[in-house]
Structure 1
Amino acid sequence: MNTFRWAVLSALVVALAVPFTRHVIAAEFVDTLSSPAIQSEKALQGMFTGLASAGQRLIAVGQRGHIFYSDDSGVRWRQAEVPVSSDLVAVQFPTPTQGWAVGHDGVVLHSDNNGETWKRQLDGRQVGQIMLDHYQRQQAQQPDDAASALLVDEARRMIDEGADKPFLDVWFSDEKTGYVVGAFNLIFRTDDGGRTWVPLMDSTDNPGALNFYAMRAIGDDLFIVGEQGLVLKLDPATQRFVSVPTPYSGSYFGITGKPGAVLVYGLRGNVYRSVDHAANWDKVELGVSSSITASTVTADGRIILVSQAGQVLVSANNGASFTQQAQNRPAPVAAALAAGPGSLVVAGAQGLRQLPFE
C-alpha cells in the first residue's frame, strides 16, 4: 500500500499533515467506517472544515464524523447522528432537507431530514470496485482504448490499497444530480440522489491526476479547482471538464462569486477573477500574503474571503476589490458562511465561531 500524507484545508491552515489511516486509540485498530461518531458537547471545540446552509439551518462538519446543526445563526449547536467516525471535509444542501457530506475513507453521507440524521451512501471500500466494474465494461466496448486500460489498473490498485482516499468536496445541482471530488483525480457523479455513482476520471483534463480541492457552480458554469493551478470547467456539449488556463501555478483551494463574476483563490493570497466565463483572468490585489482558505456570499451579494490567518475581506463590487475588516483575535479558518446581517460563522481548528463584519 502506498503511504502518503494529505492535509485537508483546515490542517493546511495550521501546517499539520493528516495521515490517510484509520484512527488508532489505545493501540487498538478502530474501523472508522463502522464506528458511529461519538456524541459529545466537547466536539464543538474540535476541528471543523465545512459549513453549509440547509434552508435557515446551518450545518457544520468536521473531524471524527462530527456534524452539528444550528437554528439560530450559529449561537447554539446540536449534534447530528452520524454512522461513521471518519473525518469529514465538506457539506452541501441543494434543498433545505436534502444534503450530502464527504470526507476521508471515501465517505459520502446523505441526510433527508435537514441534517439531523445521516446515512452512508458510499465509502472507500466500494469506490475501487465501482471504478473497476465501470472501466472494465468500457474496455470491453473499446478494446483499443488505452485510457480505459489504465483506469482498470488504477481501480485494481485502489481495491488493493483499501479505503484510504478522501473526497474533498461535494456539489449537487438538485436533490438528484451531483458530484463528489477528491484526491488524485477522484470524481463521481450521481443522477439518482446517490443511490448509484458513476466514475468520471476519464472525463477530466487532469493527466497528472492532481488533487481536486473544490467544486462550485457560478451562474451556469461548473468549476473544479485543485493543486498546481488546476482549474477545470464543465463543457455541457461534451460533458468533459476541460482545462482553463490561469496566470497562477500554485494551488487553488476554492471558488466563489456570482453570475457574471467568478473568483478562484488559494496559496499566498492569490485570487484571480473572470467576468467572461473563465476566458480571461485578472489578479485581485488583496494586500495580504496569507493563503485564502474560505469564502461565502452574503444575502445582499457581497463576496467574503477569509485567510488562513483569520483575516476577513469583503467586496461590494463583485470581487473587483476587497476591504479588510478589523477582527479581534483572528484564528485559522477552513470554512465560512454568512449567517445573517453582519454575522459570519467560521469553522477551523478552534471549532465554530461567530465573527462580526460590516
Structure 2
Amino acid sequence: MASLNKYAPLALAITLALGGTFGAAQAAYVDVLDLPAKASALASHTALRDVARAGDRLVAVGPRGHIVYSDNQGQDWRQASVPVSADLNALVFPTPEQGWAVGNDGVILHSGDGGATWAVQLDGRRIGALVTAHYQALATAHPDDERWAQFAAEGQRLEQEGADKPFLGVWFTDARHGYAVGVFNLILRTDDGGNSWVPMQDSTDNPQGLHLNAIRAVGDELYVAGEQGLLLKWDAQQQRFVALPSPYQGTWFGVVGKPGEVLAYGLRGHVARSLDGGQSWTKVDTGLALSITSASLDSSGDFWLYSQAGHVLRSRDGGQSFALQPQVPLAPVAGALQTGANGIVLVGERGVRVLAAH
C-alpha cells in the first residue's frame, strides 16, 4: 500500500502551494467599489459609454471608472478623480456644477464641481437592504396588500445576490430631483440631490421586470426605454410610469425629442416617431439594419442618429426621414453630443471622436 501513496508528499506540496497562491490572490483582491479608478493618459482614447454637457464643459464616462472632461469642446481631455473602478454607463448634469453618473455594481456617483471630482452616493452592496426596508415597512403598514411583501422579497433577493445589478440610465430634472434606472425593473428616485434614494419598482407598468435601458425628459415629459418594446412615461396624476403602446417589440435604447415630437430608437435600426406624447407612433425608415445606439438634437432642431457601427444620420424634416452623412469614418458609437452648429462629439469603444457637422 505504501507504493500507492508515494506521490502523496508531492500532491500535498502542490495543494499547499496552490492554496497559498489562492490565499494570496484572495488577500490581494480589492472590490471595484473600493478601488479608485486608475489614472491613465489614454483614458480618452479607450472605451467610453456616454457623454454629457456640464455648462460649457463636456464630460464622458466609461469602463473601469474612467471619467474624462474637456473645457475646449472636446479637443483636449483630462481625467477626473473617481473613487471606484466599476464600469460606468450613463451620466447627466442638470446644472453646470451638479452631475450624476451610474454604472455596474449598482453604483451612483455625484460631482459638485462640474465633473472634475466624484463621490459615491450609493452602491449595490446597500441597494438590497434599501429595497427590503422600504417595502417591508409598507408590508407592515398594509398587511392585506400582498404586493408589498413580494417587493420586500425581491429586496431580500438583491441582498443575497450582492452588488451585481447595473444601473443603465440616469436623469435629473434639477439639482434635487432625479431617477436612476437599470436591469430587472430596478428604479430609484431622489428628492434631495441623492442624499437618500427611494425604490420605485411598484410605480412602473412593468410586471415582467424587464430591463430599463434609459430615462430622459422631452420638455416636461419623462420617458423610459426598455427591452421587449417597453416604453414608459411618467404620469403625474397617477404618480407612476405608465406603459405606452409600442410599434416594436424588440429593445429600445433611448428616446430623444423636443416638445411635441419624440423619437424612440433601438435594435436593428428601429426608430419610431410620436407627435402626441407617445400615445401613437409611426415607424421611421433609417435604411439601416444595425442598432441605433445614440441620438441627439442640434441647435437648429434637427435630429441626429448614430449606429453601433458608427453611421451618422441626420433628419432635416423633424424626424420623418434620415439621410446618411457622407465621409464619416466608421467606429462604434455609444454616446453623442452636439457641440454647437459645427461639431459633434462621439464616444465609443475607441474613445472620443470630434466630427464636423455638415
Q: Alpha-carbon deviations, 1:229-250, whole Å to 9, x = none?
A: 0001111101110110111100
Matches of residues 182-331 of structure 1 in structure 2 within 5 Å? 182-331=182-331
The percent identity for this pair of structures is 53
Q: CA deviation at 1:341?
A: 2.2
Residue identity in the other structure for 1:112: G
Any idea what SS the aligned residue of 1:222 has? strand
Any idea what SS the aligned residue of 1:241 has? strand
Distance in 2 separating the partners of 1:160 and 1:32 = 19
Q: Which has the higher contact order (CA 8 A, sep 6+)?
A: 1
Q: Is the 8 A contact 1:104 1:165 kept in 2?
A: yes
Residues 1:76 and 2:76 aligned together:
yes
Q: Is the 8 A contact 2:58 2:73 kept in 1?
A: yes
Match of 1:97 in 2: 97
Larger radius of gyration: 2
Moved over 4 A (4+): 25-28
Q: Is the 8 A contact 1:229 1:252 kept in 2?
A: yes
Match of 1:349 in 2: 349
Query: Can you give the 5+ residue segments of structure 2 that lack an aligned partner in the other structure?
Result: 1-24
Residue identity in the other structure for 1:78: R
Q: Is the 8 A contact 1:257 1:319 kept in 2?
A: no
Residues 1:34 and 2:29 aligned together:
no
Q: Is the 8 A contact 1:325 1:357 kept in 2?
A: no
Could you tell me the TM-score, scaled by structure 2's length? 0.91
Q: Is the 8 A contact 1:45 1:352 kept in 2?
A: yes
Query: Can you give the 5+ residue segments of structure 1 that lack an aligned partner in the other structure?
Result: 1-24
Q: Alpha-carbon deviations, 1:332-354, whole Å to 9, x = none?
A: 11000111222111111111111
Q: Is the 8 A contact 2:36 2:83 kept in 1?
A: yes
Any idea what SS the aligned residue of 1:41 has? coil
Match of 1:149 in 2: 149
Distance in 2 separating the partners of 1:27 and 1:281 = 55
Match of 1:65 in 2: 65
Residue identity in the other structure for 2:249: S
Q: Is the 8 A contact 1:47 1:62 kept in 2?
A: yes
Residue identity in the other structure for 2:330: P
Q: Alpha-carbon deviations, 1:147-199, whole Å to 9, x = none?
A: 11111111111101111101101000000000000000000000000000000
Residues 1:113 and 2:119 aligned together:
no
Higher helix share: 2
Taking a change above 3 Å as real, the CA distance of residues 26 and 309 of structure 1, as seen in their structure-2 partners, is farther
Matches of residues 154-165 of structure 1 in structure 2 within 5 Å? 154-165=154-165
Q: Is the 8 A contact 1:180 1:188 kept in 2?
A: yes
Q: Is the 8 A contact 1:269 1:290 kept in 2?
A: yes
Q: CA deviation at 1:26?
A: 11
Distance in 1 separating the partners of 2:64 and 2:343 = 27
Distance in 2 separating the partners of 1:206 and 1:295 = 25
Residue identity in the other structure for 1:220: D
Q: CA deviation at 1:286?
A: 1.1
Q: Report the RMSD for the aligned CA atoms in angstroms.
A: 1.3
Residue identity in the other structure for 1:221: E
Distance in 2 separating the partners of 1:326 and 1:27 = 54
Q: CA deviation at 1:202?
A: 0.3
How many aligned positions are there?
A: 334
Distance in 2 separating the partners of 1:199 and 1:190 = 9
